[in-house]
Amino acid sequence: MKNPDNILLMSTDRIARSLQRMAHEINEKNKSDWPIVLLGINQRGLAVARDLAHFLTPILDSPVKVESLTLGEEGASRKKWDKSAYEKQSFIVIVDDVIFSGQTMFRALTTVVEELEPGEVYTAVLVDRGHRKYPVKAEFCGMVLPTKLDEHVAVEVKDGKVHEVRLTHEQ
């Protein structure tokens, strides 16, 4: 049973400021000016990727490709990789809402590297909780929040956009 008390970590305005900063960091990291592709993991990662693209597009003065990467229990699934859309000189950012153990991001990274052979691959998350079990680092991060194991970071998505981020306590 969850405690009804929860803490607002990021409002819509704070999320926008964080994504704006992350967009600038991604642009600065892409020194080769390669095409940027954002791969959003599952529903919430895709929402973060779309919102991030909203801030990246004006900086780059060109559209940013956003794709969905669905990870289920059996592994990654996607309609079918169109390898021609992912040149060897592409700057791919795998995006998720929250990183905790690193397992989901590790699986996504493994899939992308094995199937696409991109030029560069990075990771971006809205919230980094710590507690890694896998050797994965969030290169671009909206908020770093070391949590207790009984806490949960909930990212709420409304109408396909990230609305707010809350910290809840499980009992």
Domain membership of residue 54 as a residue range: 13-145
Question: What is the pTM assigned to this prediction?
Answer: 0.90
pLDDT digits (tens, 9 = 90+) for 22-42: 999 999 999 888 889 999 999
**DSSP sequence for 28-77:** HH-TT-PPEEEEEEHHHHHHHHHHHHHHHHHHHTS--EEEEEEEETTEEE
- CA atoms within a 13 Å half-sphere pointing along the CA-CB vector of 169: 7
Per-residue tokens: 120: 């560069």
The answer to whether position 56 is within a domain reads: yes
Q: Which CATH number fits the domain that encloses residue 36?
A: 3.40.50.2020
Total domains in the fold of the chain? 1
The answer to whether position 105 is within a domain reads: yes
pLDDT digits (tens, 9 = 90+) for 100-157: 999 999 999 998 888 887 789 999 999 999 889 999 999 999 999 999 888 999 999 9
The answer to whether position 92 is within a domain reads: yes
